[in-house]
Amino acid sequence: MEFDYISFLKDLYKLKLYLLKHEKASTIDELSDYLSLALMTRDRFGINIEEELYSNKKHMYKCMHNYNMKQLDILLNFVNSNCDDLFQLSTNINDAINPNIFDCLFVEYGNFYNKVKKYSEKEFKDLIYPFFAQYGDNTLKAVKDLIENKRLLVGAVQKTDDDHDHDAFTAGSAVIGKTYILTYIDSMILENIVLLVHELGHAVDLQHTMLSQSKKYTAADPMCEVPSCFFEISFADYLVQNRIETDLANNIILAKLSAIPRQFLKYHKMLTSPSDFLVNTDGIVVFDNGTGLKGSNLRNDLYYFIGTMMAANALMIHKDNPKEFNKKFSDFLGLKQEQTLKQNVETLGINYDEFLSCELIKPYYEEKSNELIKRYKYLV
Ligand SMILES: [Zn+2]
């Protein structure tokens, strides 16, 4: 895949000039966009351009601190106002997860490892364009625009920052009117393509936001992982339907639906008493039992959990009536922030009680786990 470095650096420069000009104004979101884009430049060229952005470094750090605290505030508000429902949802999905499948997935992984297929650029496009086309012209357009204009970076890059654990991220800005996807992946194997589809889901969401101007795209939005997780899981399902690497695609679905809730479940007991936690000045959430965790960790685990659960339910709605779903999905993308979990779930056409009880997705999940377990009966 080719990447247009010249346009990328020009855009980065444009954003930098904008930030310098508006140094005193509240440009926190733009600053965060800039830093996301700059991070990749540092990894690629070894130039630390974020450092020289503000003449007054103290000011920049203060901006970032305020930004992090604002994010944490939105996160904790969401937890506070949906605490009982989150507890119910996580308990129900935990009961639905078959604990044996983790071992089966592990063994199957070993079987796949030596025979992974590598996709060419053409094969990659032939695979994902018809998939995104199912979700309407605007969706396909946003995806094609990004890829054909060389704003998707795929390539082996050494990570220099141990602190960030993402293999890919999407960043855009209304100031430059464009979105970029920057990744650390170096080969086009199916699992990486699924990851790219996730990022393209963010790009579709961002594009929608930039066009509508009614909503600000932010990583603090508890719904921000829903579109990306939806396209990711729907793509894996599409592969199964079209008999493309079926076993691997099924396992990707199973792994998502099992591992992400499990990761979140380690907090769910703490969330039963939301009134008893406080946030210290370093942005650490401290619970009444003395445990503390970084706000960003709670954010990641909670938002991927919400994203995955809503995505799996949305997939069931999509399978039932694709046309009707596309309209609902578009409504969802345009929904203003700070709605309740219930309002967001219902906008996607999902019954809220069925969402909390996991009744809608259970048969789908059970079918997939039973298939896998049949192959590895000797393990269970
Ligand atoms: Zn994401």
Cβ atoms 257, 365 nearer than 8 A = yes
Q: What is the mean pLDDT of residues 312-337?
A: 92
Cα of 297 vs centre of ligand 1, distance in Å, is: 14
Cα of 229 vs centre of ligand 1, distance in Å, is: 7
Token pair 């194997």 in the structure block, residue? 189
Strand, coil or helix: 108: helix
176 within some domain: no
Structure tokens at 37: 């884009």
pLDDT at 44: 64
Q: Above 60 in pLDDT, residue 263?
A: yes
Cα of 219 vs centre of ligand 1, distance in Å, is: 9
Cα of 33 vs centre of ligand 1, distance in Å, is: 15
Cβ atoms 183, 210 nearer than 8 A = no
354 within some domain: yes
Cα of 369 vs centre of ligand 1, distance in Å, is: 25
Cα of 296 vs centre of ligand 1, distance in Å, is: 14
Q: 363 exposed, middle or buried (CB, 10 Å; 0-12, 13-18, 19+)?
A: exposed
Q: Above 90 in pLDDT, residue 283?
A: no
Task: Please give the full DSSP string across 299-335, using - where no structure is assigned.
Answer: HHHHHHHHHHHHHHHHHHHHHH-HHHHHHHHHHHHHP
137 within some domain: no
245 within some domain: yes
**pLDDT tens-place string over residues 105-149:** 888 887 777 678 999 999 999 999 999 999 999 999 999 999 999
**Domain membership of residue 119 as a residue range:** 81-123+215-380
Cα of 163 vs centre of ligand 1, distance in Å, is: 17
pLDDT at 123: 97
128 within some domain: no
Cα of 359 vs centre of ligand 1, distance in Å, is: 25
Token pair 């952005």 in the structure block, residue? 53
| Sign of the four-CA dihedral 263, 264, 270, 272 | negative
Q: Above 60 in pLDDT, residue 275?
A: no
Q: Above 90 in pLDDT, residue 316?
A: yes
Cα of 47 vs centre of ligand 1, distance in Å, is: 26
| Strand boundaries in the chain, DSSP class E | 152-153, 168-173, 178-183, 278-279, 284-286, 292-294
Cα of 91 vs centre of ligand 1, distance in Å, is: 24
Cα of 179 vs centre of ligand 1, distance in Å, is: 14
Structure tokens at 148: 């054909």
As for how many domains the chain has, the answer is 1
Cα of 13 vs centre of ligand 1, distance in Å, is: 25
206 within some domain: no
Confidence of residue 80 (pLDDT cuts 50, 70, 90): confident
Cα of 233 vs centre of ligand 1, distance in Å, is: 12
Instruction: Provide the whole-model pTM.
Output: 0.90
66 within some domain: no
Cβ atoms 203, 179 nearer than 8 A = yes
Cβ atoms 98, 373 nearer than 8 A = yes
Parallel, antiparallel, or unpaired: how do β-strands 284-286 and 278-279 relate?
A: antiparallel
Confidence of residue 199 (pLDDT cuts 50, 70, 90): very high
134 within some domain: no
